[in-house]
Amino acid sequence: MPPAPPPARQTGAHTFTRRPPSPPEDPITDATDRRARAIARVRATPPRPDRAAAWALAETFVPEDEALLRARERAAELGCAVVSPGTGSLLSVLAASLGARAVVDVGTGTGVAALWLLRGMPADGVLTTIDAELAHLRAARLAFAEAGLAPTRTRAIAGRPEDVLPRLADAAYDLVLVGGEPHTWAAHAAEALRLLRPGGLLVVDGLLCEGRLLDPAHSDDATAAARELAWSVQGADDLLSALVPVGDGLLLAVKDAGAPETAVPDVRRARSR
């Protein structure tokens, strides 16, 4: 009989509950050791010479329009990070596949990710974007105007995400994109999972940490935070997850996959404490 699962770990607004382990097929039963073996197998696989070219094609496969290009230029001027074109095009597809009418973007930047998400959302969809930097929000509003978006399509909130997210309504959103610094990801992801309806999608951008995630030589705080979030999401029994190697790595997690969907509140009436 397999041992009982360890107690659930509290991570802010959401509890990552570990799955009970299956009976082992080999003597190694510790999850960390199994991960280490999997990583070693990946490292032992010789790189394919055409992989870099294929990655470059994926990153430029969907061209950016003028509004996106100008928003990207402003990001360079302001020194803020934005999603890559390949990441953006995937965000559009994810939003479209969900029929996402209510989306939260944590960390606006100059609006690059928001524009990509809005491209995939239906015409009545509303995107809520949060950033503590007023200069970022001004740049994003300009990008939204240049893209010809009606003011009712976006809701830009100035403030720290840790202050704003708790004021948003439970189970009211289809997709939440989390960006920013890795040390904030766990708390913001926990709040995001509270905000998502059953079947909603959590997206965390930048999880590969420029290749440091799987490199044992790196033990800095940012990389450690990314690893902790990755393994917590991977092992949670109420999340269906994937790590996609686009941009700097996109962590995807579907909340309560397979659970019956309930009515989603109108975010335009979301409570605000």
Question: Each residue of 86-139: pLDDT tens digit?
Answer: 999 999 999 999 999 999 999 999 999 999 999 999 999 999 999 999 999 999
Residue among 237, 240, 211 at smallest CA distance from 226: 211
Residue 267 confidence class, pLDDT cut points 50, 70, 90: very low
**How far apart are the C-alpha atoms of 219 and 203, rounded to whole Å?**
24
* pLDDT (mean) for 36-51: 63
Question: pTM score, two decimals?
Answer: 0.78
Q: Which helix (H) or strand (E) holds 12?
A: none
Q: Would you state the structure tokens that stand for residue 183, as one six-digit string?
A: 């040390």
Amino acid at 130: I
**How far apart are the C-alpha atoms of 168 and 192, rounded to whole Å?**
10
Q: Which of 18-22, 101-105, 215-219 has the lowest mean pLDDT?
A: 18-22
Percentage of the chain with pLDDT > 70? 73
Going from the N-terminus, what domains does the chain have, and what CATH number goes with each?
51-263 (3.40.50.150)
End-to-end distance of the chain based on CA atoms, in angstroms?
Answer: 48
Report CA dihedral (188, 194, 196, 201) to the nearest 10 degrees. 50
